[in-house]
Amino acid sequence: MSGGRRALPYLLLFPGLLWLVVFFVIPLVYMGELSLRTGSLTEGFFFNWQFSNYSDVLSDYSQQFLRSFIYAGVATLLALLIAYPLSYAISFRGGKYRNLLLFLVVAPFFTTYLIRTIAWQTILTDQSPLVEFLASIGLTSNGRILDTPASVIAGLTYNFLPFMILPLYTSIDTLDRRLIEAAKDLYASSKTAFLKVTLPLTAPGIVAGTLLTFIPASGDYVNAYFLGGRNQAMIGNVIQSNYLVTSNYPAAAALAFILMLIILLLVVIYIRFAGSEALMGDEASTT
C-alpha cells in the first residue's frame, strides 16, 4: 500500500510532464540545432556548428531587438499606470458592483485578439474622427497615428492589459484593509499609508503583472503587423517572416533562441530583484 502511494504522484505527473518535455523542451533543442545549420532551402540545411548565424542576425536585426524591448517596456509601464488605479478603484470603491466592473474590464478579451487589433486599425485609421481631432490639436506627426511607434505601443498596451489587471486586482483585493486603517490611526497621511503599506503589500501583483505583460509583448508581431506598417517591425515579425515567408530557418531559429535567452535573463534578474512568490505561487502550496 505504501509503495503504491509513493508511486502515485509520479503516475499523476507523468503524462502531462511527458507532453511538456516532448513538445516544449525537446523542440527547443531542435531549434538550437537548426540555428547552427547552414545552407539554403533548395540544397537543404546541414549541421556544421555555424555559430556565425548568431553574430550575423544580431548585427542585422539589432534595431528590431532594441525596438521590441523598448516598445514592450513602454507598453508595460503604461499598462501598469492604467491598471493600478483602475484595479484600486474597482476594489476599494466598487462596492457590490466589483465583480460586474471587473467583468466589464475583461469582457473585450473574449473577442479574437486579431479582431481587437483590427478594431484599433479602424479607430486609428487616417480619416477617423479621433485621428482628425488629435491632428487638429497638433498631437500627430503629419496627421497620422497608424504606422507610427505610438500606434504599435497603444496596441500592445491595450491587448496585454488584462494580464496586468488580473494579478493586480487579486493582490489589491486580498489586501487586509485593517492594516491601512492601522497606519492612519498611527497618524500616517493617506499618501504615506499608500507608499508604506498598500504599495509594498501589492508588490507581488505588480511583479506578476509586469512579467505577464512584458513577456508576450516583447515577442509579439500582431500589433506591429496591423498597426505599424513597414517601418515598425519588431523581432517577432522578423522571426515570423524568416520562418514562414522566406524559409530562412537557421537565421530564424537563431533569432528565436536569442529572444528566449534575453527574456529568461531579464526575468531572472527581475525576480532576484523583486522576489519570486508572484510567479511561482508555490510557497503557499508546500505548507
Partner 1 sequence: MEAASIHNEGGASPFKRASRAIGDKLLPIFAGLAILYMLIPIVVIAVFSFNDPQGRYNFEWVGFTTEHWANAFGIPELTSSLVTSLQLAAVATVISAVLGTMIAIALVRYEFYGRKPTNFLIVIPLATPEVVIGAGLLSMFISFSFPLGFVTLLIAHVMFCISFVVVVVRSRLIGFDRSLEEAARDLGATPAQTFRLVTLPLIAPGIISGSLLAFALLIDDFVISNFNSGTTVTFPLYIFGASQRGIPVEVNVIATILILVALAAMAIVLWQQYRADKMAKVEPEPDPMQEHPRESRKHAVTKQTP
For partner 1 (CB under 8 A), the number of binding residues is 99
Q: Give, to the nearest 10 degrees, the angle between helix 203-219 and helix 249-274.
A: 170
Which of 39, 73, 149, 216: binder of partner 1 (CB under 8 A)? 216
Asked if residue 131 binds partner 1 (CB under 8 A), the reply is no
Asked if residue 215 binds partner 1 (CB under 8 A), the reply is yes
Closer Cβ to partner 1, 17 or 139, answer by number: 17
Which of 156, 197, 211, 251: binder of partner 1 (CB under 8 A)? 211
User: Which three cell numbers mark 227?
Assistant: 498597426
Q: What are phi and psi of 130, to 5 degrees?
A: -60, -45
Least distance from partner 1 to the Cβ atom of residue 142, Å: 19
Least distance from partner 1 to the Cβ atom of residue 141, Å: 21
Paired with 153 in beta bridges are none
Asked if residue 121 binds partner 1 (CB under 8 A), the reply is yes
Asked if residue 119 binds partner 1 (CB under 8 A), the reply is yes
Which of 116, 164, 227, 232: binder of partner 1 (CB under 8 A)? 116
Q: Are 83 and 168 in contact (CB under 8 A)?
A: yes
Site residues for partner 1, window 26-45 (CB under 8 A)? 26-28, 30-31, 33-34
Closer Cβ to partner 1, 127 or 142, answer by number: 127
Asked if residue 167 binds partner 1 (CB under 8 A), the reply is no
Instruction: Write the secondary structure of the chain as one string of H (helix), E (strand) and C (coil).
Output: CHHHHHHHHHHHHHHHHHHHHHHHHHHHHHHHHHCCEEEECCCEEEECCCCHHHHHHHHHHHHHHHHHHHHHHHHHHHHHHHHHHHHHHHHHHCHHHHHHHHHHHHHHHHCCHHHHHHHHHHHHCCCCHHHHHHHHCCCCECCECCCCHHHHHHHHHHHHHHHHHHHHHHHHHCCCHHHHHHHHHCCCCHHHHHHHHHHHHCHHHHHHHHHHHHHHHHHCCHHHHHHCCHHHCCHHHHHHHHHHCCCCHHHHHHHHHHHHHHHHHHHHHHHHHHCCHHHHCCHHHHC
Query: Quick one: which of 232, 239, 229, 230 has its CA closest to 263?
Result: 239
Asked if residue 58 binds partner 1 (CB under 8 A), the reply is no
Least distance from partner 1 to the Cβ atom of residue 123, Å: 6
Asked if residue 158 binds partner 1 (CB under 8 A), the reply is yes
Closer Cβ to partner 1, 77 or 123, answer by number: 123
Q: From the CB of residue 99, how many other CB atoms can be counted at a distance below 10 Å?
A: 10
Least distance from partner 1 to the Cβ atom of residue 111, Å: 5
Site residues for partner 1, window 230-259 (CB under 8 A)? 236, 239-240, 243-244, 249, 252-253, 256-257, 259
Which of 2, 3, 24, 43: binder of partner 1 (CB under 8 A)? 24
Site residues for partner 1, window 86-115 (CB under 8 A)? 86, 88-90, 92-93, 95-96, 99-101, 103-105, 107-108, 110-115
Least distance from partner 1 to the Cβ atom of residue 214, Å: 10
Asked if residue 59 binds partner 1 (CB under 8 A), the reply is no
Asked if residue 222 binds partner 1 (CB under 8 A), the reply is yes
